[in-house]
Amino acid sequence: MPEGDNIWQLFVKGLRGETTVVRIHKDATVDELINKISERNGIPAETQRILYTTKQLVYGQNKYLSDYNMEDQSNLTVVLRLKGGSNTVEDLSPPPKQLDEDVETTEAPDMISWEDDPNTPRAKMSCGHAITPETLTTFCESLLSSGKYVFKCPYIGEGRAYCGKEWTYLEVRRLAVLTADEKKQFETKISDNYLRKGMGIQECPKCHSLCERINKKHKRVVCPLCSASDGVEFHFCWHCLHQWVGGGIEKCGNVSCGGEDPRLKILRDCKKKTIVGVANCPAVRACLKCGMLIEHEKACKHMACVCGQKFCFICLKPDLNGHYQCGSYDSPCEIAEVQKTIPADN
């Protein structure tokens, strides 16, 4: 193939109302293209955005023109990135969030923003739906701001079918790639919302009234408000928060319901790890006060939940008057068995 057939003409517009022609090899990198444009217009690469259709060309990530499905005689647009005047402090945007290599990703579009750029990784949530870390963070922040402490998938499919599957905080924390500041914000808000609305309180899935069980052993409960307004008793499952569709009082008839608080399954199935030399410790525990799940990451065995409760992650003994009962932060102690109840619901 002649060399000329490998050279593309790209039309770059957006500055001074003019269109500039850039000639470049079809196998060139995005960096090479942006550098050419920068040389042509005299503007540093970091202060301009280059767009092809709705996609921004990403500088410094070893991308090629072919990664954006570009072709000969494609049209590009330059957008200047303006600094604030009058000595204003420059707003430095955080770098894009990067998913762990072992996170399962998907090519399906983001369920909320409909982002479908193949260069933008989207995590596959436990319910199977796709979302980017940034969208997941923003969505969950909105739930927390509205007083929620449970994260549920908002996906609406064909026939207006609502997913509504619950995501644990552990899943959200990992797939939203929360920063240290975001973790603090999330955990504090979850605890505040839970202590205010939780502690054995749920929302009726139909009328959304706050409800509390008279007998905490009951799985099948009746909402008096829905029953009075409909003229028929409305029964729902306390654990999965769906209408009770079966008979009896133990199994609600919903396929997705395990008949127990979903946190108990997480506590049973969590991985084991070594903490301060003590092997086979559960990696996840429920706070002794508020019931929030806490995952041990590293360092000492002493935990301080955002609700204020302090306890040992290994033996589960609470601190007394500011002192831990099982010795110093790095001393071995006896492993408490896997928790079989959620403390706040006892």
pTM of the model: 0.43
Q: Which residue has the tokens 């517009």?
A: 13
* Burial of residue 54, with CB atoms counted within 10 A of its CB: 0-12 exposed, 13-18 middle, 19 or more buried: exposed
β-pair partners for 149: none
Q: Is residue 90 part of a domain?
A: no
Q: Is residue 111 part of a domain?
A: no
Residues 249 and 281 grouped into a single domain: no
Boundary residue ending a domain (80, 104, 137): 80
Residues 9 and 32 grouped into a single domain: yes
Q: How far is residue 83 from each of residues 13, 34, 80, measured CA to CA in Å?
A: 21, 20, 10
Q: How far is residue 244 from each of residues 26, 151, 205, 217, measured CA to CA in Å?
A: 61, 22, 11, 16
Q: Write out the residue range of the structural domain in which residue 49 sits.
A: 3-80
The number of distinct structural domains making up the chain is 4
CATH of the domain at 160: 3.30.40
| DSSP letters spanning 271-299 | PEEEETTEEEEESEEE-TTT--EEE--SS
Q: Tell me: the pLDDT tens digits for 46-69? A: 778 788 876 778 888 888 998 888
286/305 Cα distance (integer angstroms)? 10
Q: Tell me: the pLDDT tens digits for 185-237? A: 888 888 777 765 555 677 788 888 877 788 878 889 999 988 888 889 999 99
Tokens for 87, please give them: 């000595």
- Is residue 108 over pLDDT 60? yes
Q: Tell me: the pLDDT tens digits for 137-165? A: 999 998 888 778 889 999 988 877 889 89
Q: What pLDDT does residue 3 have?
A: 54
Handedness of CA 110, 114, 119, 120 (dihedral sign): negative
